[in-house]
Amino acid sequence: MDLGMTDRVRPLVEAVRAMVRDEIAPLDREFHAEVGRHPSGDRFRHSARQIEILETLKARARDRGLWNFWLTDSTRGQGLTTVEYAYLAEEMGKVHIAAEVFNCNAPDTGNMEVFERYGPQWMKDRWLAPLLEGEIRSAYVMTEPDVASSDAAQLAFAARRDGDDYVLNGEKWWISGAGDPRCKVYILMACTDPQAPKHQRHTMFALDAETPGIEVLRPMQVFGQDDAPHGHMHLRFTDVRIPAESVILGEGRGFEVAQGRLGPGRIHHCMRAIGQAEKALEMICRRGLTREAFGKPLAELGGNFDRIADARMEIEMARLLCLKAAWMMDTAGVRAAQPWISKIKVVAPLMAGRVLDEAMQIHGAAGISQDFDLAHMWTHVRTLRFADGPDAVHRRQVARAELRKYRNG
Amino acid sequence: MDLGMTDRVRPLVEAVRAMVRDEIAPLDREFHAEVGRHPSGDRFRHSARQIEILETLKARARDRGLWNFWLTDSTRGQGLTTVEYAYLAEEMGKVHIAAEVFNCNAPDTGNMEVFERYGPQWMKDRWLAPLLEGEIRSAYVMTEPDVASSDAAQLAFAARRDGDDYVLNGEKWWISGAGDPRCKVYILMACTDPQAPKHQRHTMFALDAETPGIEVLRPMQVFGQDDAPHGHMHLRFTDVRIPAESVILGEGRGFEVAQGRLGPGRIHHCMRAIGQAEKALEMICRRGLTREAFGKPLAELGGNFDRIADARMEIEMARLLCLKAAWMMDTAGVRAAQPWISKIKVVAPLMAGRVLDEAMQIHGAAGISQDFDLAHMWTHVRTLRFADGPDAVHRRQVARAELRKYRNG
Amino acid sequence: MDLGMTDRVRPLVEAVRAMVRDEIAPLDREFHAEVGRHPSGDRFRHSARQIEILETLKARARDRGLWNFWLTDSTRGQGLTTVEYAYLAEEMGKVHIAAEVFNCNAPDTGNMEVFERYGPQWMKDRWLAPLLEGEIRSAYVMTEPDVASSDAAQLAFAARRDGDDYVLNGEKWWISGAGDPRCKVYILMACTDPQAPKHQRHTMFALDAETPGIEVLRPMQVFGQDDAPHGHMHLRFTDVRIPAESVILGEGRGFEVAQGRLGPGRIHHCMRAIGQAEKALEMICRRGLTREAFGKPLAELGGNFDRIADARMEIEMARLLCLKAAWMMDTAGVRAAQPWISKIKVVAPLMAGRVLDEAMQIHGAAGISQDFDLAHMWTHVRTLRFADGPDAVHRRQVARAELRKYRNG
Amino acid sequence: MDLGMTDRVRPLVEAVRAMVRDEIAPLDREFHAEVGRHPSGDRFRHSARQIEILETLKARARDRGLWNFWLTDSTRGQGLTTVEYAYLAEEMGKVHIAAEVFNCNAPDTGNMEVFERYGPQWMKDRWLAPLLEGEIRSAYVMTEPDVASSDAAQLAFAARRDGDDYVLNGEKWWISGAGDPRCKVYILMACTDPQAPKHQRHTMFALDAETPGIEVLRPMQVFGQDDAPHGHMHLRFTDVRIPAESVILGEGRGFEVAQGRLGPGRIHHCMRAIGQAEKALEMICRRGLTREAFGKPLAELGGNFDRIADARMEIEMARLLCLKAAWMMDTAGVRAAQPWISKIKVVAPLMAGRVLDEAMQIHGAAGISQDFDLAHMWTHVRTLRFADGPDAVHRRQVARAELRKYRNG
């Protein structure tokens, strides 16, 4: 169980770390300050400067071979393992726009994974190819407003077969990236047979984002912010007609695709969250050494030594757990890795949230202000406690797996 | 030690609760949706509709005698005790604009308290009178960007005596309400003698908010939000000249005024935070009973029973501690109540934050969105962990008071 | 809601505190060192010196009128309220044998309460009178080895009516004090009708402790200790025949008696636990000021300031909650006070356990050794998390009470 | 960084697990029941049956080649790595007497390590050889009653050079195993030069346990138990004269030896603690599935699902951290591994304590009684929070290492 950084990935990690620190981080603030400067005033359309920043960086990354790391176990990517990718993703987590620079950003990676593993050739040609080039973006359309997302079998958005087509009706929300005009394709889960056994009711589809009948109701806000230009959209589908060939893998196999997609995606989120925790701990230390009160550096006051030690211990443990989950994915497959993915999915966002909270506190009110990235990182990891399944459902999976060992004895 | 609701205050509590629930809450969302609709586009100026909402509600509250409850132990207010006020403040905490409707909002209450207790007659006439009428607003100008606010003796913003005037120079930030054009007066703490003993270096002043030389650099953001129209401003003072009579209580007595001001203010914040926790627990229960997963109401899944029980226990304890701190204020004075105020200042925001976090979690992603007030309430109680002294400094006070008992034996 | 120390009880509290500190504490260690020195070698029989210590102290307490404080709301006791008693019990909690010195020790107080409130005159004459005099001791016989004590309706120990008698069969354990030869009477709950509705299956009996057929199987150990001479016995009843007049209150009303008994008893345990937490915090401070490492007193190292502050805050909150539960008992009765009793029953032992754990830690390995009382106090409060209902069942009660408010709306 | 079970160690782990479960566990309870049955009544001398149990099992283990696993990186042992040993130690942690059966018990392993790495040949011949055979036992004599063990530089027990001898005077306590007559050798740290620089004041000695002048004052108790027959002794040394050749490594190099000794020892303790946590979680699951309340298995009530999930996640993370610390020992040496050892030394006992506490709670009062091993395991892991350095000193090390990264930039 080699969880270390391999010789193969080490130079990539160093290159990514350097590029994130030296080239991407300095532009991140400007990128966000540009939100809303598209001539239309639409916060979800990139300004010319935003496009320039992104595309310049992407071109550089690509030229250096720092591209599509996430496509593990495939001839199309770099042939990395998930363990190797973990070390790269951690670095990308430290700056908001970094993942996209390396074409490693959610939800596109998960969606590309779906096309790569389950999609017919025509989908690969039409959507996977330009996604791999970073030319278009995509969205993953699953969550619904009216049912608890912890129990996905309740999803009710309907796809009704009608001749050679399916007709889609219903609402979906928290559809990240769906407001971006570069987003050209949706991967969408719909209920095709409400009477079928629980895990055979749903089907996964791929469809053009500009299919008529799709309406953006509003951007969802996260702690009052719209996260533009990426954003999270509330969509309404009214009699949206798509051809039958839009089905991925087969009718009633939506859960199978979703599990295959969400496993790696969850780990990637966790890897990046660990990177954010590392950044927060560095900020705690720097602030603790330079800011003074009562004649001493803050680091030496109150329980700050303990907080620093606890943060370090928690980060190390979460990283190791994440690497183990990645190793399980690599060696035993998504299904066997499932309880491990659930574990890290609970652990990493909670841990990162705690470290970021301590970082905000030691920075005083500045820590929650626009002068530091801490509040933004915190809200991001807070959302991870819902994204791809809330804590409750992952804890439930872990507990059930544990009890199963003893049920018959 | 009577911590209960008195017969005198019970009908007031009932009237406030009813008005908050039936008249104020239904307008709160509209009030916030109006932000930025002033013809100038300035988010910190109230739109006509915002003024209409506020003034209509204020007039009603005043007509019903629901006004200025906070002025305890004084002939100008209702003559309530701090314990009695606690029950009222808790109700006001449940809706964002409620405290202002009853003229009980920070920072005006604390500022009025300063004028009432320490201000010369001319300040009472000029500023206290219209503040008590709700005709103007005020700001409290203390925090500085360059020093740890936990150790207020470090504050370096300078007031230099020059003939019959003082001349002010420096930056202040997190000045809540200072962007509101209705804000007519600042109470400001400045360093008048950096060489004096630690707690005699600073002086408190009152000055007209429109004195030349004051510049609003920017609104500070809280988790990405500007909290308009109230907001928190970053100000720069350049050779701001004010007459010597602007001094409150006496040169070098700034700390004395600050302590007298901050004691009650801290308790009021805590009271309102407890009201928010109560509201969050109610929302947990309602959601838990109505939303289902895996065929059961959420309340019956996982550890939700324990979470509800823990929330209830934590709220009750925090309320009792807050009432005891209030009772100490009433019976032993601000100075003797200080360690009690520090205790509740640590406890209440942490407790409310935990309950609100659980409430967000049980609401799924909706819980952090604009569809519920939870995220907004959470960010508010999070800021309380800095406002009026960070947790660290209050814990330090409590520990030192405890150890002092045993230092000589 | 007066939760303060009344003028009436203040001198009693001072007298009890002084006697505990000056007269009882100095003998507590000797008392325990005498365990096993009865000529028979039986650790559950008091040695002559143990009897001398106890009876001398009891006589003194009684002469001073420091006796039977617990019998609230009754002409037989001192007529104190439960709130008043709380302040006394807290002082008694600080030294192991103190409660018995004042005739205020469990399980006798609860058993006397049963006789006083529900017992027929013959039981009062035979057992209550000498118990009130401190001449005999008693046991409360409820818990069974084979069922989860969290759900008392499962209790299966059988009492079968047979003519004018009942015949008892089964096992009971954790019967505190039942090994003490001074223990003359058992109050015992048995199942008289397994088919009856859940809360009418059981009946409470009083019986002579020396009735034939009762066998002490073994003393139960608590963290390896037998808690002699008090102890906790595992008993077996084989065809134990008792007269029908042994029934308390009525057949099928066992639960009613148990609730009436356990309410006050739970509060008393919590009061004493709070006293132990106070003692632990004092020990933390004294040790923290006198022991040094790295050139500083321990109190100033690491997170010890925060630990001291947190302990102080937690103690105050638990005390207030306990006083409120006591006040509910006094003003609204046991049934209405039930959710409040459940709250403090969860909170107080957990809180005291945490403070004691910190106290052990700051004392180094000495803290868990025989050189300090901390380990003994810790194991005691740990058992309180089971005694009179485990945490789980009390949290369940609190959550259900909370949800009930919203079930129909 | 291979943290997995190697092919080499897997069969050993399986053999150890089977022997622990099938041969050692069934005799563990009898072994403890025999305490005090030596004809002398001395609880610290093994009864004939205890010796029979131990020696029979040891002989079997040795015959099977399950012996001295701990001696990593050495030709005398099995040549295992510390990572490999971790998997074995975890199994041994599950039953109290298991480690001794495989000659892998503290403090002998650490002491053998000292002889192996730093001892002159005569010590190897005289003590290491029979220790490796399991023929004698040893003690490690470091802790003192009068100084905070967190700051070992304060240790004051004196060794004064006198001609060709050293003369020892002072008290030491918590000397585990020193009451066992099989204990033939002490490794002892003494202050040889109080004026020297902080880490050069102390010297490590080896001496015969029966040297005149050594007195056992008393056995120390742990939560009221003497842990016989192993036990922890309080010793007094009065003019104990030992030859100068007793010095290990060199005068003033005591700290160097101590660090070399304590590093592996701390990891071994942690490995065994993880084994105990695993056992506790298994017991939680089994109890949770078989015991019922309110018509459901306990596992499905309240927050038990969450508790099981949290326990599983915490165990996995602690195990991975322990394995990483072991891997650092193997690849970078004790000194470089130091911060990693500190991390796991804080994490593992706290984690195991929490899981064991939950296990006790779900077992009801039985969980803290003699009917289960849980209370005994809990007290053991509680002592680990002091043994080989309290949590505070290890957290301090971790925090200082973290801050050091940023001190010069």
* Rounded-to-integer distance, Cα A395 and Cα D49, Å: 47
* 3-class secondary-structure state, position C397: helix
Residue D280 CA, distance from chain mean position = 19
Question: Residue range A30-54: average pLDDT?
Answer: 93
Taking only the tens place, the pLDDT of each residue in A244-301 is 999 999 999 999 999 888 778 888 999 999 999 999 999 999 999 999 999 999 999 9
Question: Residue range A137-159: average pLDDT?
Answer: 91
- Which letter, b or e, does each residue of B231-247 get, where b requires 16 or more Cβ atoms within 10 Å of its Cβ? bbbbbebeebebeeebb
* Contact residues on chain C for D284, CB-CB shorter than 8 A: none
Considering only CB atoms, D321 lies closest to which of A286, A317, A402, namely: A317
Q: What pLDDT band is residue A77 in, cutting at 50, 70 and 90?
A: low
The verdict on C293 touching A (C-beta cutoff 8 Å) is no
Question: Residue range B296-302: average pLDDT?
Answer: 92
Please tell me the predicted confidence (pLDDT) of residue B407: 87
- Which letter, b or e, does each residue of C198-232 get, where b requires 16 or more Cβ atoms within 10 Å of its Cβ? eebbbbbbbbebeeeebeeeebbbbbbbbbbbbbb
Tokens of D339: 């911060």
Please tell me the predicted confidence (pLDDT) of residue D263: 77
Please tell me the predicted confidence (pLDDT) of residue A389: 87
Which whole-number Å values give the CA distances from A241 to A178, A186, A194, B178, B224, in the listed order? Answer: 19, 14, 19, 54, 39
Taking only the tens place, the pLDDT of each residue in B86-98 is 999 999 999 999 9
Taking only the tens place, the pLDDT of each residue in D220-265 is 999 999 999 999 999 999 999 999 999 999 999 999 999 888 778 8
Taking only the tens place, the pLDDT of each residue in D181-207 is 999 999 999 999 999 999 999 999 999
* Contact residues on chain C for D145, CB-CB shorter than 8 A: 366
Residue A300 CA, distance from chain mean position = 37
Please tell me the predicted confidence (pLDDT) of residue C121: 96
Q: Is the pLDDT of residue D73 over 80?
A: no
Taking only the tens place, the pLDDT of each residue in B334-388 is 889 999 999 999 999 999 999 999 999 999 999 999 999 999 999 999 999 998 8
Please tell me the predicted confidence (pLDDT) of residue D24: 97
State the DSSP code for A222.
B
Question: Residue range C221-227: average pLDDT?
Answer: 93
The answer to whether C151 and C164 are in contact (CB under 8 A) is no
Compute φ and ψ for D165, nearest 5 degrees.
Answer: -120, 170
Contact call for B309 and C1, based on CB within 8 A: no
* Contact residues on chain D for C372, CB-CB shorter than 8 A: none
Taking only the tens place, the pLDDT of each residue in C12-45 is 999 999 999 999 999 999 999 999 999 998 999 9
* Contact residues on chain D for C378, CB-CB shorter than 8 A: 223
Contact call for A305 and C305, based on CB within 8 A: no
Q: Write down which chains contact chain D via at least 3 CB pairs under 8 A.
A: A, B, C
The answer to whether C361 and D385 are in contact (CB under 8 A) is yes
Residue A92 CA, distance from chain mean position = 12
Taking only the tens place, the pLDDT of each residue in C50-76 is 999 999 999 999 999 999 998 876 677
Please tell me the predicted confidence (pLDDT) of residue A246: 97
Q: How many helices (H) and strands (E) does chain A have?
A: 12, 10
Please tell me the predicted confidence (pLDDT) of residue C265: 82
To which H or E segment does residue C62 belong?
A: helix C48-63
- Which letter, b or e, does each residue of B138-159 get, where b requires 16 or more Cβ atoms within 10 Å of its Cβ? bbbbbbbbebbbbbbbbbebeb
Which residues does A319 contact at the CB level (< 8 Å), separation at least 6?
Answer: A90, A274
* 3-class secondary-structure state, position C225: strand
C72: closest CA among C404, C380, C331, C282? C331
Chain B residue with the nearest C-alpha to that of D310? B303
Question: Residue range A375-402: average pLDDT?
Answer: 94
* Rounded-to-integer distance, Cα B345 and Cα B393, Å: 10
- Which residues face D204 on adjacent strands? D189, D248
Average pLDDT, chain C: 94
Please tell me the predicted confidence (pLDDT) of residue D409: 54
Tokens of D239: 């003019």
* Contact residues on chain D for C301, CB-CB shorter than 8 A: 392, 396
Q: Is the pLDDT of residue A373 over 80?
A: yes
Tokens of A274: 């660990």
Q: Is the pLDDT of residue B409 over 70?
A: no
Interface predicted TM-score (ipTM) of this complex, two decimals: 0.95
Average pLDDT, chain D: 94
Q: Show the domains of chain A with their CATH numbers.
A: 10-119 (1.10.540.10), 137-248 (2.40.110.10), 255-407 (1.20.140.10)
Q: Which of A342, A369, A385, A396 to mutate to test the interface with B (most CBs of B within 10 A)?
A: A369
Q: Is the pLDDT of residue D80 over 80?
A: yes
Tokens of A158: 């309907």
Q: Write down which chains contact chain C via at least 3 CB pairs under 8 A.
A: A, B, D
Residue B291 CA, distance from chain mean position = 35
Contact call for D306 and B302, based on CB within 8 A: yes
* Contact residues on chain C for B308, CB-CB shorter than 8 A: 398-399, 402-403
Q: Is the pLDDT of residue B149 over 80?
A: no
Q: What pLDDT band is residue D153 in, cutting at 50, 70 and 90?
A: confident
Q: Is the pLDDT of residue A183 over 90?
A: yes
Chain C residue with the nearest C-alpha to that of A299? C302
Q: Is the pLDDT of residue C409 over 70?
A: no
The answer to whether C31 and C53 are in contact (CB under 8 A) is yes
E-strand ranges in D11-150 read 137-141
Contact call for D361 and C385, based on CB within 8 A: yes
Question: Residue range C185-204: average pLDDT?
Answer: 96
Q: Is the pLDDT of residue A409 over 70?
A: no
Block residue for tokens 């000292």: D114
Tokens of B165: 């005037």
Q: What pLDDT band is residue C93 in, cutting at 50, 70 and 90?
A: very high
Taking only the tens place, the pLDDT of each residue in D117-134 is 999 999 999 999 999 999
* Rounded-to-integer distance, Cα C212 and Cα C10, Å: 47
Question: Residue range B203-217: average pLDDT?
Answer: 97
Contact call for D309 and A396, based on CB within 8 A: yes
Q: Which segments of D291-407 does DSSP mark as H helices, in order?
A: 304-362, 374-384, 391-404
